[in-house]
Amino acid sequence: MTNSLRVAVLGGGSFGTAIANIIAANGHHTYLWMRDEDRAEKCQFERENPEYLPGYKLNDNLEITSDLEASVADADVVTLSVPSQSFREVARRVAPHIPENAIVLSTTKGIEGESFLLMSQILEQELKKVRIGVLSGPNFAKEIIQNQFTGSVIASEHNSVIQCIQKVFASKTFRIYANTDRYGVELGGALKNIYAIVTGMAAALGCGSNTQAMLLTRSLAEMTRLATALGANGMTFLGLAGVGDLILTCTSNLSRNYRVGYAIGKGESLAQVLDNIGQVAEGVNTVKIVKDKADEMGIYMPLVTGLHEVLFESKDILEVVTGLMTGAMASDVDMQGGVQ
């Protein structure tokens, strides 16, 4: 690879745009693919993504296009930043056009429903002869593009992937740390969305800082319990892609999932809330998927169960919350052993 690489970022949402802008600013020939032709042309002409990141000028090295095949032609790195529901479809469409031995990266935080596959596992199924990695962490796009200090994690079993992404994607304010536990890093990014809904609900109900601290740490315990049962490294959840992302998503109004929980806590219906937000809140789908997997495996996840009752079983929110707060007091830290 030469110093200046060809990079394609597929998905013109807020995070895809912010990442593509950093890569372009680093001097790489960068394409940002958007599905909608009119929107792509408008963003290319105006040098701005007004739908997701209004008011931020995009780097001149960034080319915005709706031509999927052209965007990945001769690419050294291809990044998929599309919602989980369309991830496999985009991966399948782009598969014939990605060069052999290219690096293919997922930044999507979600789980495929029936299969319980993570996004990088979908890439393994749909793509051949590429090197796969995952980028995840406490990363709000609006703050990234404002050049606020941000930490993220690149996870891959290939050292060449880690080294390349750290060099190409990092900036003075966007710092990228390494991890070889791709599955754990990806699980952390998907699972934390559930708990952002929980903490948003708690905030709407007037719960204070003590309750928030309890919810965050019990959420971390649940995430780690499921992840280790699935074969991930529990220590991964003590890093940026675990507790770091959990804290960010569960404590900020910039989080779509937190806003979903807050609105439901204020009495709005799930349908109303999702319509008002107008963007994908991955946590809503993830609740169903994780509840089914936890039941199947016999994993104790009371916060997931309680949230499922509120969102999909029409249970009274105060009754469910009271039940969660007064439930069994088990071990504090599962990794020390003891009961769940």
Break the chain into its structural domains and give their ranges. 6-180, 183-328
Q: In this model, does residue 337 exceed pLDDT 90?
A: no
Please report the pLDDT score of residue 1 as a whole number.
Answer: 43
Please identify which of the residues 167, 192, 266, 293 carries the catalytic annotation: 192
Amino acid at 15: F
Q: In this model, does residue 256 exceed pLDDT 80?
A: yes
DSSP symbols for 63-126: EEES-HHHHHTT-SEEEE-S-HHHHHHHHHHHGGGSPTT-EEEE----B-TTT--BHHHHHHHH
Q: In this model, does residue 199 exceed pLDDT 60?
A: yes
For the domain 183-328, what is the CATH code? 1.10.1040.10
Please report the pLDDT score of residue 276 as a whole number.
Answer: 85
Mean pLDDT of 218-227: 95
Please report the pLDDT score of residue 338 as a whole number.
Answer: 45
Mean pLDDT of 9-31: 97
Looking at mean pLDDT, say which of 30-34, 267-271, 320-324 comes out highest.
30-34
Please report the pLDDT score of residue 162 as a whole number.
Answer: 98
Mean pLDDT of 228-234: 96
Q: How sure is the predictor about 149, in pLDDT bands with cuts at 50, 70 and 90?
A: very high
pLDDT digits (tens, 9 = 90+) for 92-122: 999 999 999 999 999 999 999 989 999 999 9
Q: How sure is the predictor about 177, in pLDDT bands with cuts at 50, 70 and 90?
A: very high
Say how many Å lie between the first and final Cα of the chain, rounded.
49
Q: Do the domains spanning 6-180 and 183-328 agree at the CATH topology level?
A: no
Mean pLDDT of 61-71: 97
d(CA 61, CA 226): 42
d(CA 158, CA 230): 21
DSSP element (H, E) containing 15 = helix 14-25
pLDDT digits (tens, 9 = 90+) for 311-335: 999 999 988 877 777 766 666 666 5
Q: In this model, does residue 339 exceed pLDDT 70?
A: no
The CATH fold of domain 6-180: Rossmann fold (3.40.50)
Q: How sure is the predictor about 280, in pLDDT bands with cuts at 50, 70 and 90?
A: low
- Secondary structure (3-state) at 254: coil
pLDDT digits (tens, 9 = 90+) for 156-173: 999 999 999 999 999 999
Mean pLDDT of 63-70: 98
- Looking at the chain, the whole-number percentage of residues with pLDDT higher than 90 is 85
Q: The whole model's pTM is what?
A: 0.92
| DSSP one-letter code for 242 | I
Q: Is 192 a catalytic residue?
A: yes
